[in-house]
Structure formats: C-alpha cells, structure tokens
Structure 1
Amino acid sequence: MHQTFAHTPGKPGLLCLHGRGTSAMIFDIQLVRLQRVLSPFFNFVFIDAPFESEPGPGVLPVFEGCEPFYSWTPMEAQWYEGIMNEKSLEVVTKELQKHEAAGMEVVGVLAFSQGTRMAAGLLHAQETRERGHKLLDSNEGEVSLRTKFKFGVFLMGSWPPLVLSSTDKEMRRISIPTLHVVGAQDQWRNNGCKLKEEYFNQSNAKFMELQVGHHLPAKDEETLMISEEVLRLWNEAMG
C-alpha cells in the first residue's frame, strides 16, 4: 500500500511538478523515498497538469490502470516550444493560492522531467517580477504569481523552460539557488545538463549525477544525497 504523507500545519511546502504523461498521484508514489526523509521538514504539494496525454516513458506497465495521465503542454505542441500555456499557469497558481490562504508558505519547487520546464519558467517569472518587469503580454496572471520560491530542485531535467511571454526569447539566467540531478544512464541526460548550463547562474546551480536512468533513484544512499542537498538549500535560504 502506498504511504500517504499528510500535511502538517506550520511546515513549509514544496510544490511538486510531475513529468509528461504521469499525474500528481504517480509523482507522489515516485517521490515516496524522498518524502520519507524530508517529510519532517516539508509538506509536499502535488498537482495535476491540465492536459490529458498518453503515458510517458516508463509509466507502463508499472502504473497500468492509473489513468488519466497528464502533460504540461498540449498534445499538439512541439516539444521545443517554450511558451507556458495559460491553463498550466492557472492550475499552478490556483493550487498555490489555496495552500497559502490556508497558511502554508510554499518555499521551493521540486520537479521531474517535463515538470522541470514548468519549474524553470516559474523561477524565471519570479525573478522577472522582482526586477519590476512586465511578466506577460497582457495583464492576465499578474496578480496570481505572488509565491516567492527560495530554491528549486530539478530531477532528470528537460528543456527549454516554459516562459510566460513571447518576449522572453533571450532569457536572463536564473539566480535562485537550485539543485540539478541527472542520471548517467538517462537517454535524455543532455537535456538536464543543457537546462542547467544555458538557463541558470552556474554559481548558484549545484550539479549531481547519479548512476540511474530516467527515473527517481531507488538506493537509500542516493535518496539521502538528494535530501541533504535539499536541506542545504533550505538552510541557506533561512540564513
């Protein structure tokens, strides 16, 4: 039986963004080892992407019968398109508003595979807003993006980031502290490397390579390595 980690009042939250062709429920299961270690420190906030899709890589047969599966981009979108869909922004901001209205401070974003594109876009939007620049081509969504992420965790990343405006063709590098975990046997390893190297300030972006494929690590020592880095990012953010 899958262990469910209940939210605890007073603990900060981590927004968890799943990969293409999975779901919040599946990502909850995939992150169970990491949650066991980090649940004393954080609440984990899972959310379904808005677009139904075919199952992602490696989802079947393990999660047979766990439909529907979701994606952060519409099925007809080309993978290299880098504009965040309004529906994706809407489901994320509504979830953040709900938990923050209940008193939970969401301090970090933790994402896997395609979810890292969404996470990078959210961090980029935050820094754009903090510089006093306009976020969108219209005013839609301006008010809802009030969360201040202190750090980001990118697991088996993808690229390019999903940014909010078509004017963001030349992205300024993201300076918010981050951890980037890639798998040495991941067939999309270079995507995670490219995300870190091209879109993040390297002095604030920690790189970690594990001997795994395109999935979360199963070994306790690898889970602990990630957990220690997440806690380092949080402790440094707290000063």
Structure 2
Amino acid sequence: MPSSPRPRIACFHGGGSKAAIYDVQCSHLAKLLENDFQLVFFDGPFTRDAGPGILPAFRGYEPYKSWFTKDDTGAELSDGSGYDTTGRDGVERVWNLMEESDRQQQQKGEAVGPWVAVMGFSQGTRMVGGMLLDQQRRADAAWEGEGERAGVRLKFGVCCMGAGAPMESEIGTHFNFDNQVVKIPTLHVHGLKDMVLPLSRHQYETYYDSKAKRLYEVNYHHAMPWVKEEVEQLAYLIRQIYKENA
C-alpha cells in the first residue's frame, strides 16, 4: 500500500445511476490503480429513474441520480443548475464537493493528495468535459472572479462511453470564447457494441482537441470495461497519460 497520499481522481456516474454504483462498476480498475490513485465518487444532485443497464443488478440502490434536470418547458438546463435556489451551475457544485472532501479528510487527521483528474461514465462524461473546460477557460481568461480554483490543476480526463456536450459553467457567461474544445489531455473509451457509440464518436470529434485526445476501443456494450485484459489496459493508459502530463 502507498505510504503517502495518492493523487485523486474525481469520478462521475452515468444518468440514472449513483456514486455507490459507479464505485462497484470501477472496483477492478480501482484495485489495479490503488498504489497510484485514489478514486473519489460523487453523486449527481437530481433524482430520476434507473438508467440503462442498472436494473436488475442494482435494484435496491435507489434513489438513482442525474447531473441534469429540465426547466418548466421541458428543456434541459445545460449548466446543471436547478439543484437549489442560488442558480449556481453544476460545475461549481462539484468544485465545492471536492473542497468539502478535502475538509472532511483533514478533520479526520488524514493527509490528502492533489486532485489530478476527472473520470466519468456515460452522462458523467459531460461533467468531465465541463470541469476541464471550466479550468481551461479560467486560465485562458486569467479570471479572478468568485469560484477561482487556484488550488486544483486537473491534468487529464477520462471519458467512458460518453455522449453529449460538456456541462456549461459560470465563466461562459462572463466571456465569449471562440474555441469551445477541451485542450487538456483526455482518454476516451468507446464500446464497439454500445448503443450510444455514434454519440460517443460525435462527442470525441466535436468537443476535444485532436492534439490532446486519445481513443481506446473495447468490443462490447454500454458498460465500464470489465474483461481482465481490457481493465488492465485501461489502468495502463491512465497511468501513462498521468506520467506524460505530471
């Protein structure tokens, strides 16, 4: 076991899932990475029905969660707001959750490692893109406004079986950004038998810079890699992208 605090990866479940389920789905990966990283799982703020592949395996894990909700007209709130009366976006909420995780560990007398990455599955990849884009935009604009996260520098992201645009964040309302693509290094996992593969490919091609992204394809459906050789390869790729960008 590691003797010093491990770098941490913030992890975001799919729509209609929850942190406890994603923890189970990543258990083999977490075991392979236990000497290198600590995976920390967060819950979305909204309740919904079970997502694809959740039942019957995870019956009893209710309530299932989502990172997005809709307004009164039925339109999605693309910034993840609506979870309280402040109107703050979902990216800001997660930054705050990460800070709270720091405080809780420190109150227990536990040392904390740096936050170095974000990883998400399905809808959770929109959180990954949103967090990376928020950090990138703050750096590009040298924005010193409320919510500056000077203590965190995410080095990479992992998007597994993703679909959809990155979650919008507050800084996008303060500045006009010509470039909307994520330039921070990312690893993308696509399932060749996945029903959302066309959407995964669209996400990969549309929202991520060609010079900073890499692709890992596995030959099965909408699920985190679970075959031994494939999980081992994913763990290797995560270590490699961290090593290249540490």
Which bin holds the TM-score, normalised by the shorter protein?
0.7 to 0.9
| Counterpart Cα distance in 2 of 1:64 and 1:116 | 23
Match of 2:28 in 1: 33
Q: 1:87 to 1:124 in 2, by over 3 A?
A: closer
Instruction: Find the residue that maps to 1:163 and give its secondary structure.
Output: coil
TM-score, length-scaled by structure 2:
0.84
Match of 2:11 in 1: 16
Match of 1:68 in 2: 63
8 A contact 1:171–1:199 mirrored in 2: no
8 A contact 2:91–2:168 mirrored in 1: no
Q: Deviations over 1:25-71 (max 9, x none)?
A: 00000001111111111111111110011111111111011101100
The Cα shift of 1:95 comes to 2.0
Q: Deviations over 1:83-122 (max 9, x none)?
A: 3323633441222112444333110001100000111011
Q: Deviations over 1:8-30 (max 9, x none)?
A: 75111000000001100000000
8 A contact 1:100–1:106 mirrored in 2: no
8 A contact 2:190–2:218 mirrored in 1: yes
Match of 1:97 in 2: 99
Match of 1:83 in 2: 79
| Counterpart Cα distance in 1 of 2:221 and 2:150 | 34
| Letter paired with 1:47 | F
TM-score, length-scaled by structure 1:
0.86
8 A contact 1:121–1:163 mirrored in 2: yes
| Counterpart Cα distance in 1 of 2:98 and 2:2 | 14
How many residues end up aligned between the 2 structures? Answer: 228
Indicate which of 183, 188, 198 corresponds to 1:175. Answer: 183
Identity of paired residues, percent? Answer: 29
| Counterpart Cα distance in 1 of 2:121 and 2:187 | 12
| Letter paired with 2:217 | E
Match of 1:3 in 2: none
Q: Deviations over 1:145-188 (max 9, x none)?
A: 75210000000011111111357686522111110000000010
| Counterpart Cα distance in 2 of 1:28 and 1:8 | 23
Unaligned runs of 5+ in 2: 82-87, 107-111
8 A contact 2:91–2:130 mirrored in 1: no
The Cα shift of 1:82 comes to 3.2
Match of 1:228 in 2: 236
| Letter paired with 1:95 | L
Match of 1:121 in 2: 130
8 A contact 1:116–1:161 mirrored in 2: yes
Greater CA deviation, 142-151 or 225-234?
A: 142-151
Q: 1:104 to 1:198 in 2, by over 3 A?
A: same
In angstroms, what is the RMSD of aligned CA positions? 2.4
| Letter paired with 1:180 | H
Check if 1:45 corresponds to 2:40.
yes
